[in-house]
Chain A
Amino acid sequence: MGPIGENEFFFLMQGLKWTVLLAIVGFIGGGIFGILIALLRTSKTKVARRITAGYIGVFQGTPLLMQLFVVYYGVALLGIEVNAWIAVAIAFTLHASAFLGEIWRGSIEAVPKGQTEAANALGLHYVSRMKDVILPQALKISMPATIGFLVQLIKGTSLAAIVGFIELTRAGQIISNQTYRPLLVFGIVGAIYFIICWPLSHAGSGLEKRMAKAVR
């Protein structure tokens, strides 16, 4: 058994950095495309609604791990030379866009119809109606679910280890193999995930309670 010293800890922190970066990129990329998906999903055009429904269905109906594989090898198959980081970032962005798109579709539909009618009666066009009136309210409604998904996404980044991406969990595994102290190492790794995710979950459920009260 080896000691867990500065070097090992530094290695874990490197892994943590990639975990956080991957979650941020997935969340931001997924957020941008997710809004698009949500808007198409709630649009008047039937084709747009159908296509985005299919997109959401595919990503919600298959394991994230499989999505990672498909994107990772799929990108390689296209003959594009990309490193693991880009491939994984693309996979997480696609994954997050489908889930966030679905969450936000629900929130857009949860905004009372009277809001759209008032905006229409005032002559506001689609862009302003969405940007100024509907989306700010929908985003607020979606906050608990959005934060919940972010927590899932952070934990989900551990799956990126499978395609050789050294994030926090994979870093832990490597250290554990070197030091033969799996319990200690994964204890630390788990604690790190917890420190990040728990406050988020807590904030999310706090918001949920506050909003439930506001509705009453």
Chain B
Amino acid sequence: MLNSAKDQPTLISLEDVQKWYGAFHALKSISLSVRKGEKIVLCGPSGSGKSTLIRCINALETIEDGKIVVEGQVLDGSTKSIDAIRREVGMVFQSFNLFPHMTVLQNCTLAPMRVRGTSHTDAERLARKYLERVRILDQAEKYPAQLSGGQQQRVAIARALCMEPKVMLFDEPTSALDPEMVKEVLDTMIGLARDGMTMICVTHEMGFARQVADRVIFMASGEIVEEAEPEVFFKSPKHQRTKTFLGEILAHH
């Protein structure tokens, strides 16, 4: 653990969240609470609902039942609550999703200008600060297609940071990358974690989980099966499904 999050206030809480895709029960009664500064790693087999879970937090998916609260704001489906929550929650996608027709700098300045009403000058200053932080400021004038995957993902992180969120959600940020680029993105995330960012990361990078996670959560078939500190989680998983999963994943790495 990098810092003690134990006595910090709760930033995100999910209570008994139910999510259906038609007849398919994607999230089954998920309850989870994340304290300020906490780093959570979410893992589990494909289709277990990891992406769905974090996408519900910033209302990219709607939920059928249960309660989600972020920074005291209840997500009730209203535009107002969605706006309020999205201002506090940044997200990084597996496929980067940078805006291809804008330069790196423009990718970073758009949301602060449009959502927060930041002036162009201030937005650029902010963008440069965060591009510097992900060590890619020298590429500011380039277009995403001119960058490597690792560089693009770091820009995506900077773009999210420019909104100065309280929480960052990562959905398999390194899965689409060539192996040699995984490290630069993980290092960026580790840096972020060191600086105290609250993070929920869907990832199968167990080295990362060991190094930064306060808690590792294992999901299967839409349920949270097990959650523990990384030491305990990796050394002595309780459930058979967790053991099987860890066996598979560690065999791959």
Write out the residue numbers on chain B whose beta carbons fall within 8 Å of the beta carbon of A121: 58, 60, 86, 89-91, 93, 160
Complex CA gap A58/B124 in Å reads 48
With contacts A118-B93, A122-B160 taken as known, whether A128 is within 8 angstroms of B86 at the C-beta atoms is no
User: Are B110 and A117 in touch, CB under 8 angstroms?
Assistant: no
B207 within 8 A of A: no
User: Are A123 and B115 in touch, CB under 8 angstroms?
Assistant: yes
User: Are B159 and A122 in touch, CB under 8 angstroms?
Assistant: yes
A13 within 8 A of B: no
A3 within 8 A of B: no
> Shortest beta-carbon distance, B101 to chain A, in Å?
5
User: Are A117 and B97 in touch, CB under 8 angstroms?
Assistant: yes
**Tier of interface size on chain B:** 20 to 34
B83 within 8 A of A: yes
User: Are A133 and B99 in touch, CB under 8 angstroms?
Assistant: yes
Write out the residue numbers on chain B whose beta carbons fall within 8 Å of the beta carbon of A50: none
Residue picked from B59, B83, B114, B156, most chain A C-beta under 10 Å: B114
A132 within 8 A of B: yes
A43 within 8 A of B: no
> Shortest beta-carbon distance, B39 to chain A, in Å?
19
Q: In terms of DSSP, what is the predominant structure of the interface of chain A?
A: helix
Cross-chain contact of A114 among B86, B95, B110, B114 (Cβ < 8 A): B95
Instruction: Number of A interface residues at 8 Å Cβ cutoff, please give it.
Output: 17
Which single residue of chain B is at the shortest CB-CB distance from A122? B111
User: Are B93 and A114 in touch, CB under 8 angstroms?
Assistant: yes
B163 within 8 A of A: yes
Complex CA gap A128/B58 in Å reads 18
User: Are A122 and B93 in touch, CB under 8 angstroms?
Assistant: no
Write out the residue numbers on chain A whose beta carbons fall within 8 Å of the beta carbon of B89: 121
Write out the residue numbers on chain A whose beta carbons fall within 8 Å of the beta carbon of B60: 117, 120-121
User: Are A125 and B114 in touch, CB under 8 angstroms?
Assistant: yes
Write out the residue numbers on chain B whose beta carbons fall within 8 Å of the beta carbon of A120: 59-60, 86
> Shortest beta-carbon distance, A19 to chain B, in Å?
34
A interface footprint on B70-111 (CB within 8 Å = 1, 0 otherwise): 000000000000010011011101010111110000000011
Write out the residue numbers on chain B whose beta carbons fall within 8 Å of the beta carbon of A140: 101
Write out the residue numbers on chain A whose beta carbons fall within 8 Å of the beta carbon of B115: 122-125, 128
> Shortest beta-carbon distance, B198 to chain A, in Å?
16
Complex CA gap A123/B110 in Å reads 11
B interface footprint on A36-47 (CB within 8 Å = 1, 0 otherwise): 000000000000
Task: Please name the 4 residue pairs, one residue from A and one from B, whose CB atoms are nearest each other, closest first.
Answer: A118-B97, A122-B111, A123-B86, A114-B97
Pick 8 A–B contacts, CB within 8 A, sort by A.
A115-B97, A115-B99, A117-B97, A118-B93, A122-B160, A124-B115, A125-B115, A128-B114
